[in-house]
Amino acid sequence: MSRCCINPSILSADFANLESELARIATADAAHVDVMDQHFVPNLTLGLPVVERLKAISPVPLDVHLMIEDPDRWAPAYAEAGCDSVTFHAEAAAAPVRLTRELRAKGARAGLGLRPATAVDPYLDLLPEIDMLLIMTVEPGFGGQSFLEVTLPKIRRAAQAIRAGGGQVALQVDGGITEETILRAAEAGADVFVAGSSVYGTDDPAAAIDALRVAASN
Ligand code: DX5
Ligand code: ZN
């Protein structure tokens, strides 16, 4: 298996101390930043002004996950802000191909996200247009939920299509990733793992990141 990426979600970090919370995950591959608008999901987090400041101080790349309506309008600014990857949801985008091209043109890796109940097959033709496919393994909106086993066949299907296309697209899973569930997601073919509560819910996030890396390759 190729090397996996562990991207802790700062949704479970202390929002009053984001600079020191990012410093605690300096050994991660990226910091996963959940942007929620209280419309696409029933929760509200942070937006572009905060992400711009996080970009200025983060020791790791930013992996932005936009759980927002109208990403066609709002997502490009996150690429302009220097975010390494910008993922928007297929269910919310009016013109996903135009948007991924715009994100790439602005220097970001383009990610396409799918809610647990969204089928992957209609989007497989878009693989050449994206850098990352995100399969949500919980309903988006909140941290600390349980991994949805029902998403495993979809992860397998996506991984198979990515391999068939030459393997250029990262396959990210997000939600309920723990030392227990990460191996099942990895065996199904995921290679980028978002983990919020299982990293920031511990006393030692760096040790939790190491433990997830080990558990993913067991
Ligand atoms: C949920 C977010 C996730 C969340 C994951 O909608 O997209 O990134 O932080 O949290 P855990 O790892 O606790 O399930
Ligand atoms: Zn997320």
Per-residue pLDDT tens over the stretch 164-197: 999 999 999 999 999 999 999 999 999 999 999 9
Identify the active-site residue in 63, 84, 174, 191.
174
Query: What is the domain count for the chain?
Result: 1
Work out the average pLDDT over 152-163.
98
pLDDT in tens, 111-126: 999 999 999 999 999 9
pLDDT in tens, 45-96: 999 999 999 999 999 999 999 999 999 999 999 999 999 999 999 999 999 9
Burial of 152 (0-12, 13-18, 19+ CB in 10 A): buried
Cα(152)–Cα(22) distance, integer angstroms: 30
For the cut 70, the answer to whether the pLDDT of residue 2 exceeds it is: no
Domain of 160, in residue numbers = 5-216
Q: What is the CATH number of the domain that holds 54?
A: 3.20.20.70
ipTM: 0.99
User: What strands lie across the sheet with 192-195, from one edge to the other?
Assistant: 5-8, 192-195, 170-174, 132-136, 109-114, 85-89, 62-67, 31-36
For the cut 60, the answer to whether the pLDDT of residue 1 exceeds it is: no
Q: How far is the CA of 182 from the centre of ligand 1 (A)?
A: 14
**89 has binding-site annotation:** no
Cα(180)–Cα(169) distance, integer angstroms: 25
Cα(88)–Cα(67) distance, integer angstroms: 7
Q: Is position 63 annotated as part of the catalytic site? A: no
Output the ligand 1 site: residues, CB below 6 A. Answer: 9, 11-12, 32, 34, 65, 138, 140-145, 174-177, 194-198
Mean pLDDT of the chain: 97
